[in-house]
Amino acid sequence: MKSVSILVTFVSLLLIVLLSQEANGEVLGETKMLIDKVNRNGPFIGVVIPNSFEMAPLLSYPEYKPSKLIIDVGGKRFRFGSIGHKQVILVMTGLGMLNSGVTTQLLLSLFNIEGVVHYGIAGNANPSLTIGDVVIPQYWAHSALWSWQRYGLGPKDTLPLEDNGDYTRDIGYLNIANYSTPYKSDNFLNNIWYQPEEIFPVNGVPEERQHAFWVPVDSGYYNLAKHLESMKLEGCVNATTCLSTPPKVAFVERGTSASIYVDNAAYRSFIYEKFNVTPVEMESAAVALISYQQRVPFIVIRALSDLAGGGEDESNEVDTFITLASKNAVKVAVEFIKLTAPPK
């Protein structure tokens, strides 16, 4: 009886240890062995996708060949397959900067990834481009890390902790009073100063921060993508709803992300004039920042689904063009991935 009691105690302690390891995010048992096995067959292109409506067109795309292998870790599902001659791992992030950053870090920590392709839809801030166009920016920024200045202070006043190196006035600010009614009347909300992210590159010194606002995509990937400039894209949602101009692939200077859905014409005009951004969305900058810190090549492909803040019609166009934009983003992403692998 005593030996049974000892055995029960031992098993209980073992379960406590294993459960605590699982709770702390460690990958154990068959999942760990499976990850080790697939990594020996790598490297892979990691395809990072924001939402299910953007992933669905890829899952049904003729040139995507899924394997039977799926690995679930940390609430994320990693799907394995191939596009052309390239092995790929697909993972959906969910909405916003936090989800996309955590997912990208998990992808790069677990698997043998040679590069990251992130695609999806986006709002448009650039008046020279239209719905349906697929844009590939050279730089990305997270535009919702702010120092919000108290009322009564202005551009000549030092921000809190600025002298400590935590905050800066170098990037610029949004003066909310400029958007008051009547125009430029005083406003208690005052100024919002844009801030760079603190980053800790994998080849840097741990806990020794660097700063980055505009994060460049991989130059090799960017130049490779230029082969897609003449691609023909979908122009019709159905037999009766079509775009007024044929959509195209466009290479632009900048895109911006924040966990904010921008449906405001005044802010759209402000960020375009200040930062020269085209796509405005909620995930890409996090993918960019993680990939950049881990020194993994990456590129972002976004199809414009609406004019951020609306056009002449009062309704947001995304409800009409979300399917078309998603399909165009997938088409360009697939063709780019095919370019990364020389034919066998």
For residue 156, pLDDT over 90 is answered with yes
Task: Give, in degrees to the nearest 5, the angle at Cα 261 between 257 and 263.
Answer: 115
Structure token digits, residue 310: 């609306």
Q: Which residue type occupies 216?
A: P
- The answer to whether 344 and 82 have CB atoms below 8 angstroms apart is no
DSSP codes of every residue in 195-216: -PEEE--TTS-TT--EEESSEE
Q: What integer is the mean pLDDT of 145-151?
A: 97
User: How far apart, in whole angstroms, are the C-alpha atoms of residue 197 and residue 204?
Assistant: 15
Is pLDDT above 50 for 271?
A: yes
How buried is residue 115: exposed, middle or buried, by Cβ count under 10 Å (0-12/13-18/19+)? Answer: buried
Stretch 258-285: mean pLDDT, rounded? 96
- 216 vs 9, residue with greater confidence: 216
- The pLDDT score that the predictor gives to residue 162 is 97
pLDDT at 124 over 90: yes
pLDDT attached to residue 192: 97
Q: For residue 4, is pLDDT > 60? A: no
**Residue 109 class from Cβ within 10 Å (0-12 exposed, 13-18 middle, 19+ buried)?**
middle
Under 8 Å between Cβ of 304 and 122:
yes
Query: pLDDT tens digit string along 53-100?
Result: 999 999 999 999 999 999 999 999 999 999 999 999 999 999 999 999
- Average pLDDT of 135-146? 98
Provide the pLDDT for residue 27.
Answer: 63
- Mean pLDDT across the stretch 245-266? 96
Q: CA-CA distance, 135 to 129, in Å (whole number)? A: 9
11 — pLDDT class (breaks 50, 70, 90): very low
Report the C-alpha gap between 234 and 209 in whole angstroms: 44
The model's pLDDT over 228-248, given as tens digits with 9 standing for 90+, comes to 999 999 888 887 888 889 999
Q: What is the pLDDT of residue 14?
A: 43
* Separation between Cα atoms, residue 322 and residue 161, nearest integer Å: 43
Residue 29: CB partners within 8 Å, gap ≥ 6?
Answer: none
pLDDT for position 344: 55
Query: What is the gyration radius of the CA atoms in the chain, in angstroms?
Result: 23
What pLDDT shows up at residue 23? Answer: 42
DSSP one-letter string for 259-290? SS----HHHHHHHHHHH-EEEEESSHHHHHHH
- Residue 33, pLDDT above cutoff 80: yes
Q: Tell me which of 32-36, 80-84, 94-98, 171-175 is least confident.
A: 32-36
173, two tokens: 């600010």
